[in-house]
Structure 1
Amino acid sequence: MNKQETHHHKGIEIFGKKTELYFAVLCGLFLVIGFLIATFTALPFWFSLSCYLISYFFGGYFISIEAFQKIIKGGFDIDFLMIAAAAGAAYIGSWAEGALLLFLFSLGHALEHYAMNRAKKSIKALGELSPKIALLKKDGKLTEIPITNLKINDIIAVKPNTKIAADGVIIKGSSSLNQAPITGESMPVDKTYIEDIDNLPAFNDIDKKHIVYTGTINGDSSLDVLVLKLSKDSTVSRLIKMVSEIETQKSPTQRITKKFEKYYVPIVIVSVFLLCFTYLIIDENFEQSIYRAITVLVAASPCALAISTPSAVLSGIARAAQKGVLIKGGKALESLGEITTIAFDKTGTLTEGKPKLTNVIPLHNFDEKELVQLILEIESLSNHPLAKAIVKDIKSQYKILVTNKASNVNAIQGKGIEATYQQEKVFIGNIKLMESAEILVDEVTISKMKALLEKGHTVMLIGLKNKIIGLISVMDLPRKMAADTLKRLKEIGIKRMIMLTGDHQNVGDAIAKQIGLTEAKGNLLPEDKVNAIKVLLKRDGKIAMVGDGVNDAPAMALSTVSIAMGAAGSDVALEAADVALMSDKIENLPFVIGLSRASKTIIKQNIFISLAVVFLLVPATIFGLTNIGLAVAFHEGSTIVVVLNALRLLRFKTK
């Protein structure tokens, strides 16, 4: 049913936004009451007729409004045909038939409208990423102003642990930024000021270590940022624009349905009108011609066709909900059944989304226990997110406590930290830090570092008394069920599984190898992910995107089907997604894809059954080979078969 165009009903909404659904339920309720009175009681006919009339009102109210709105614009659709069929059924005394037609159609009609405002919610959630106020720094004074009033080359102050208010370049200060809301990077990123601001290159050409994005979160240090993009051109604004443009595009299913209605409905209307005058050319009276025309109208009303897809969709969605999976509509359910390529975000989707201590390796015969204690003492004095992760895991794995033997911790931006431990200088960080401290990094150490870096680990060296005494590594580890899930996806026919991540290519390759992905693409910003999805769509036709962060929203919206990880996912990703794994279990992915494929098969079966009945029944009624009773029996029989077939999905299980 092509109902996506109608977002507002010019009618009463006494039950709020769910009024249409409640009206459909009331239609069914009064239909049942009327049928029971007529079948099992000796009450006068007007008792059951009153119930049928009330059922007609509730079932036809919103459908009639939409049909009228189309008619005054010069168009006819299935809404009009269903109203005409119900009216015709009433004219020949088949009140229950007409009420049933309206009930089934209005129920599907109402449920199709259930998630209509998703695009608006998605855009609203994206807008909330950006702070509304910026601290403008001018003539040594700080002034709060709306971010919309910021101009290019304004300077804003960013306090510790606050959101960045504009895209720009750091001109004073250094800090570690959480860029996950925009880039999806699992690790905090060290940022520092740019020395030469007089000859700045284009924004995209500035070294990323100096650039900040709107909506990212500052660490423990204050920054001054030179604004290089207006609010409307910021990264977040681009995300909003991308999602807005993509979400409001019509689907192929909508266009096909519109074409079907465009030709089918007028043909039926004209045919029924002409059949009213068959008494002029064959030997029958006017009443017989009218009876034949109305019988054809009932036979041609696509009740089974109208309910064939919604019934299967509703059954599929209900079954998914039982397993903690939210599917937002029939398009997602159908499209997912055709997918053979899935793109995954890394952080929080295929991985846990948190850095974990993976290795503590003593070097040059240094004692492991002493090394671990030294690392714990020093890192416990740092506020860096990686330091906090290291401290937590050391305490957990080695069962030791801080004894306050370290002091004078100093963070060296982009290199690491230095501290005093038992009256000796200790350095923990990268090779640049060791070189600046004049500590030799030998080939054995470099070899061990490279081996870990190639596997996706973040590696830090520990220097003491002018030599390397050990190294530690951290990594965002794969989810426990990731490898098994990907294996099951291959078994059910998913041919290509690609990781799209903002992390380094080495990290992506390492994770891909561990869990069995077919491909990994690293160093991707949101627009890069969108471009990657475009390439994959061109190559494979249809693609599903699984993500959990805001930075995934444009890529998810562009994909054929977007799937959000629930508990770990942002509000934006959930709003933009077609499917949400509410329990945050990636292992539910094979189930929902299998369910989608079963749903698509049943939808095809239902459409075949419903069209076959219409194509057989209409000619039979035109040539007088059947009466209204048989037409109703076959017509409603096909509807029941279609519904029962759809209900099989409620018992769907993966093999």
Structure 2
Amino acid sequence: MSATLGTEPILDAADRAPRGEHDGHDHDGLLDVFGARTEIAFSLLAGAAVLTGWILETVADVEGAVPTVLFLAAYVFGGSLTLREAYQSVRAGRFEIDFLMLVAAVGAAALGKFFEGGLLLFLFSLGHSLEHYAMGRAKRAIEALAELAPKTALVRRDGAELEVAVEALAVGDTVIVRPNSRIPADGFVLDGTSSVDQAPITGESVPVDKQPVEDRTHAAQASDSLDASNRVFAGTINGTGALDIYVTRRAADNTLARVVQLVSEAETGQSPTQQFTNRFERYFVPAVILFVLGLTVSPVFTGEDFGDSFYRAMAVLVAASPCALAIATPSAVLSAVARAGRSGVLVKGGGPLEDLGQLQSIAFDKTGTVTEGKPRLTDVVAGDGIPEARLLRAAVAVERLSDHPLARAIVRDGVPRLAEEPATATELQSIIGRGVRASLDDQTIHVGKLALFAEIDGAAPPTTIVAAVETLETAGRTTMVVRHGDEYLGVIGVMDTARAGVAEVVHDLRQLGVRRMVMLSGDNQRVANAIAGEVGLDDARGDLMPADKVTEITALRAQGTVGMVGDGVNDAPALASATVGIAMGAAGSDVALETADIALMGDDLRRLPFAVGLGRTTNAIIRQNLIVSLGIVAILIPATLLGLGIGPAVFVHEGSTLLVVGNALRLLAYRETT
């Protein structure tokens, strides 16, 4: 079996014809007799020939050419596909496992042991075909993602409804989605309400209610920032209501296509363990060949019968072939990637998967990760002699110009509290990490952290403003001081609440062995401490700029493997600095999909313990597989040196390979235990 089995890329339907029932060799010409079933058919024919020949020779006591011809037929059927693979490997300068099996079979024939040689090729080809079938199950679980989207869509163009191929959809088209049908494109809802089952993409177990956007033009310009209640994804399942969908991505660029592409790319990557086993085989296989050659010529020095020595050498050749080792890691990685994909977790290859299973600490971004990312206006504390309405009017006027989440909260919750229309501010400028300034009523207005006013010209904040800030921040609020000209109008308090279930996530991660969990936030330290204490995190680091988050991650990496969980956009540098970058809410976000090693497609942190648990289980299964594969080789080599025949060696050898594959396939049925 090829040492690189299980690492070929998965191609979607547009690039490759659908696979048959069994994966394996790509057949052509004379070797395509049974189509996709050629490999298993040849193996069974080899087995039938071996069995018939053995019965005739042993039970019916038929001697001569007939049993030999049947055994040679087993050579033809059992070895033809293996011969082609071995030939291709040798031409490429690699001596792999297929080559060792063929040499052993030819050696048995040279000794007149046609039955044992035929048995070897039958069991080897049977193990090969069953292995391909088992691996194909894992691959098809991934490839099935590509089949989620419908082939056609009902689109409204120029007042008429037309059915077109999804590949023909253009950005800006309006797609009509009937009840209980699959959604054909990424987009947002223009008309209609319904509940959509997003489990195929995000792993969410409960359908998500969808409703139309308020402003079609604005939604088209900022579709990635729309609320989950407005956005839909190709491949998800509409509920009982009809929807009109505005298409925001072409079929080749939608979330489903990106996931399929990234999973396909992930399969071609190799984990550290797989790289180790490949290096091991690169030296081990030639060493086996040299050792067998030494056994073959040993009668020159020992005087042993050449036939006995040569037979023992062929038995050792079978015993030392690391078939199980070749498949131990890729079978586990492929099964785990497929299992993760079914639950809305995108794993970009074996390396991140193994690292995920070894995490010792995890750092969480605060806004949008630990918290909802949807803060609300909680406090309006006016300065001495300042009407509350004046403070709120000024704050809303400035924040209407910003798209920051805190600004949107002030506008959303502040406008209903005003008795008149908000004022109009102009010339908004951001002061990174501190606040904003603008022009209002021909005067400069600043809105930002208390620290901002120690850095800019003008009067210092009065003690009443400082006291109000301290009081609000002690209560876990994020505060913004408002100064109009040189007059301090007051303080605005905003609070971003923790997501439901985050405390349970932290508990589950501790149960899985994650020793340290911290929160990184740009908010002030008191706010960070309040949220971290509420959800049970070990520590919180506040007042951090993006570069500061990278510094914190670097410090954590010095203590061991660390994961960083964020939204994949603002936290891109920190995600890249961590051992494993984990983006949540990645569905529909190209930046999150590109940045992270692991992407939680849904906006739900509760997928994280599942992903970490799957990674830990995968590592355990890889270790088990390596122990079995290397242990069998370590036992069989001395056993064959002491006289174990080729037949028993083949049974144990192929049995270990199937045991390893079966063990890896358990990951397809992995269930959350926490």
TM-score by length of 1: 0.61
- In 1, Cα distance between equivalents of 2:557 and 2:454: 46
2:657 is aligned to: 639
Q: Give the C-alpha shift of residue 449 in structure 1.
A: 1.4
Give, as a single letter, the amino acid of the residue that structure 1 aligns with 2:99. I
- 1:328-362: per-residue Cα shift (whole Å, max 9, x none)? 23333233222221123334333344554343456
Residues 377 and 405 in structure 1, CA contact (< 8 A), matched pair in contact too: no
Per mean C-alpha deviation after superposition, the further-off stretch among 355-364 and 480-489 is 355-364
How does 1:439-588 map onto structure 2 within 5 Å?
443-453=463-473, 457-461=477-481, 471-501=491-521, 505=525, 508-522=528-542, 528-540=548-560, 542-550=561-569, 552-567=571-586, 570-588=589-607
Structure 1 position 600 matched with structure 2 position 619: yes
Q: Give the C-alpha shift of residue 112 in structure 1.
A: 13
How does 1:94-113 map onto structure 2 within 5 Å?
94-100=120-126, 102=128
- 1:20-55: per-residue Cα shift (whole Å, max 9, x none)? x96547698423212344556999969876654564
After superposition, the CA RMSD in angstroms is 5.0
Q: Give the C-alpha shift of residue 371 in structure 1.
A: 7.4
Q: Give the C-alpha shift of residue 605 in structure 1.
A: 1.9
Give, as a single letter, the amino acid of the residue that structure 2 aligns with 1:84. L
- In 2, Cα distance between equivalents of 1:2 and 1:39: 25
Per mean C-alpha deviation after superposition, the further-off stretch among 562-571 and 300-309 is 562-571
- In 1, Cα distance between equivalents of 2:565 and 2:455: 42
How does 1:117-156 map onto structure 2 within 5 Å?
none
Residues 548 and 569 in structure 1, CA contact (< 8 A), matched pair in contact too: no
- In 1, Cα distance between equivalents of 2:565 and 2:423: 45
- In 2, Cα distance between equivalents of 1:342 and 1:373: 39
Structure 1 position 85 matched with structure 2 position 101: yes
Secondary structure, aligned partner of 1:563: strand
1:169 is aligned to: none
Structure 1 position 622 matched with structure 2 position 641: yes
Secondary structure, aligned partner of 1:273: helix
Structure 1 position 321 matched with structure 2 position 341: yes
Give, as a single letter, the amino acid of the residue that structure 1 aligns with 2:515. K
- In 1, Cα distance between equivalents of 2:579 and 2:18: 28
Residues 138 and 334 in structure 2, CA contact (< 8 A), matched pair in contact too: no
Structure 1 position 34 matched with structure 2 position 42: yes
- In 1, Cα distance between equivalents of 2:615 and 2:382: 52
Q: Give the C-alpha shift of residue 458 in structure 1.
A: 3.9
Per mean C-alpha deviation after superposition, the further-off stretch among 501-510 and 345-354 is 501-510
- In 2, Cα distance between equivalents of 1:533 and 1:290: 59
Which sections of structure 2, spanning at least 5 residues, go unmatched?
A: 10-14, 28-34, 54-68, 110-116, 141-268
Secondary structure, aligned partner of 2:291: helix
How does 1:420-435 map onto structure 2 within 5 Å?
429=447
Residues 342 and 496 in structure 1, CA contact (< 8 A), matched pair in contact too: yes
Per the alignment, do residues 528 and 257 of structure 1 end up closer, same or farther by CA in structure 2, a change over 3 Å counting?
farther
Give, as a single letter, the amino acid of the residue that structure 2 aligns with 1:574. L
Matched pairs, number: 495
- 1:265-295: per-residue Cα shift (whole Å, max 9, x none)? 2331112112223555455453x44433222
1:268 aligned residue (288, 293, 302): 288
Residues 82 and 101 in structure 1, CA contact (< 8 A), matched pair in contact too: no
Q: Give the C-alpha shift of residue 623 in structure 1.
A: 2.0
Which sections of structure 1, spanning at least 5 residues, go unmatched?
A: 9-13, 115-248
Q: Give the C-alpha shift of residue 317 in structure 1.
A: 2.4
TM-score by length of 2: 0.60
Secondary structure, aligned partner of 2:559: helix
Secondary structure, aligned partner of 2:558: helix
Per the alignment, do residues 628 and 345 of structure 1 end up closer, same or farther by CA in structure 2, a change over 3 Å counting?
same
How does 1:370-381 map onto structure 2 within 5 Å?
374=393, 378=397
How does 1:355-370 map onto structure 2 within 5 Å?
355-361=375-381
- In 2, Cα distance between equivalents of 1:470 and 1:487: 40
Give, as a single letter, the amino acid of the residue that structure 2 aligns with 1:613. I
Identical aligned residues as a percent = 38
How does 1:78-477 map onto structure 2 within 5 Å?
80-89=96-105, 92-93=117-118, 94-100=120-126, 102=128, 253=273, 256-257=276-277, 260-261=280-281, 263-278=283-298, 280=300, 281=302, 283-286=304-307, 288-361=308-381, 374=393, 378=397, 382=401, 385=404, 386-394=406-414, 400=416, 404-407=420-423, 409-410=425-426, 429=447, 443-453=463-473, 457-461=477-481, 471-477=491-497
Secondary structure, aligned partner of 1:98: helix
Per the alignment, do residues 102 and 638 of structure 1 end up closer, same or farther by CA in structure 2, a change over 3 Å counting?
closer
Residues 377 and 402 in structure 1, CA contact (< 8 A), matched pair in contact too: no
Secondary structure, aligned partner of 2:640: helix
Per the alignment, do residues 86 and 444 of structure 1 end up closer, same or farther by CA in structure 2, a change over 3 Å counting?
farther
Residues 377 and 410 in structure 2, CA contact (< 8 A), matched pair in contact too: yes
Residues 327 and 578 in structure 1, CA contact (< 8 A), matched pair in contact too: yes
Q: Give the C-alpha shift of residue 302 in structure 1.
A: 1.0
2:82 is aligned to: 56
Secondary structure, aligned partner of 1:480: coil
Per the alignment, do residues 592 and 25 of structure 1 end up closer, same or farther by CA in structure 2, a change over 3 Å counting?
farther
Residues 383 and 464 in structure 2, CA contact (< 8 A), matched pair in contact too: no
Give, as a single letter, the amino acid of the residue that structure 2 aligns with 1:34. F
2:609 is aligned to: 590
Per the alignment, do residues 279 and 371 of structure 1 end up closer, same or farther by CA in structure 2, a change over 3 Å counting?
same
Residues 520 and 549 in structure 2, CA contact (< 8 A), matched pair in contact too: yes
